[in-house]
């Protein structure tokens, strides 16, 4: 087993232990406290907050993937080419408006809680997935698509049996980037009462407790690294499975 994989397994095991039995780590984080401050976040369950955080990110990324991939498919068909500028503008909305601004605009309409955070993460995650899907579909080997046409495949058969499977590694790279961005950005959802790991960081900032801030940041950071690496490994496997790794090496 490669050293990098061993390190990641150890990191996951330590993270899991901290989320399930955080008091075991009190002596370590206690070094960062002062004046009798609690060493471990005590205003809720870290495990519950982590699951909530991941659920919000998963929901937002899933919705962004569905819309972004659908838009990319539309604009790469002959009947949808003229919608490319409009689709690109829509995908850019999330990058144009900072997530904090989106939250500020969404709260009066949707109220406090998870909903404004979902909207902000959804908009912020559209662009990487849309651009990568577009790249993956546009840059397919022409010989493959021509062969598919030659055997009489319909456009739908070509899309689902040839184009999307070949473009999937590139699409997954966009999803990977969007997911990692959302993991970090979701922390700001706690400013509008969404239950995310941002609660831990905010509690640390308001009470001047460095241990709380570090705990929230470390959980998000380790999750981001583990999820990024897992999706990257899946991407490499898909490229090898479709023979794209060999073409890239050549």
- Token reading at 86: 């409009």
Q: Which two tokens stand for residue 221?
A: 């950071």
Helix locations, the chain, DSSP H: 3-20, 26-29, 46-75, 84-96, 99-110, 114-138, 142-150, 155-158, 164-185, 198-207, 210-241, 244-249
Contact 197, 220 (CB under 8 A): yes
Percentage above 90 pLDDT, the chain: 63
Q: Based on the number of CB atoms within 10 Å of its own CB, is 112 exposed (0-12), middle (13-18) or buried (19 or more)?
A: middle
Q: What is the mean pLDDT of residues 37-55?
A: 95
The pLDDT value given to residue 242: 67
Burial of residue 122 (number of CB atoms within 10 Å: 0-12, 13-18, 19+): buried
Which of the given ranges, 93-97, 158-162, 178-182, has the highest pLDDT on average?
Answer: 178-182
| Statement: residue 107 has pLDDT above 70 | yes
Highest mean pLDDT among 74-78, 138-142, 174-178: 174-178
Question: Are the CB atoms for 183 and 224 separated by under 8 Å?
Answer: yes
Q: Which residue has the tokens 């709260």?
A: 107
Architecture of domain 45-243 in this structure: Orthogonal Bundle (1.10)
* pLDDT tens profile 22-35: 999 999 999 999 88
- For residues 121-137, average pLDDT: 93
Residue with tokens 């949808």: 80
Q: Kindly report the CA angle at 189 between 70 and 38, in degrees rounded to 5? A: 145
Q: Give residues with Cβ within 8 angstroms of 190, minimum separation 6.
A: 196, 197, 198, 199, 201, 202
Give the pLDDT of residue 4. Answer: 72
Q: Which of 63, 189, 73, 56 is nearest to 123 (CA)?
A: 63
């Amino acid at each position: 087993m490669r050293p990098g994989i061993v390190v990641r397994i150890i990191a996951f095991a330590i993270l899991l232990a901290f989320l399930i039995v955080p008091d075991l780590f009190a002596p370590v984080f206690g070094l960062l406290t002062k004046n009798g401050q609690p060493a471990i976040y005590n205003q809720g369950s870290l495990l519950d907050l982590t699951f909530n955080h991941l659920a919000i990110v998963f929901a937002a990324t899933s919705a962004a993937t569905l819309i972004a991939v659908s838009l990319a498919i539309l604009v790469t068909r002959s009947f949808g080419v003229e919608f490319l500028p409009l689709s690109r503008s829509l995908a850019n909305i999330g990058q144009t408006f900072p997530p904090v601004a989106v939250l500020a605009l969404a709260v009066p309409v949707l109220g406090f809680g998870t909903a404004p955070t979902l909207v902000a993460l959804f908009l912020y995650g559209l662009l990487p997935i849309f651009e990568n899907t577009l790249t993956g579909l546009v840059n397919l080997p022409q010989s493959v698509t021509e062969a598919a046409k030659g055997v009489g495949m319909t456009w739908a058969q070509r899309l689902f049996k040839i184009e999307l499977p070949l473009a999937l590694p590139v699409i997954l790279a966009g999803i990977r980037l969007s997911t990692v961005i959302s993991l970090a950005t979701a922390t700001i959802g706690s400013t509008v009462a969404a239950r995310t790991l941002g609660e831990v960081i905010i509690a640390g900032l308001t009470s001047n407790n460095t241990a709380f801030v570090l705990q929230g940041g470390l959980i998000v950071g380790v999750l981001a690294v583990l999820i990024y690496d897992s999706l990257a490994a899946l991407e490499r496997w898909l490229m090898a499975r479709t023979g794209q790794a060999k073409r890239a090496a050549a």
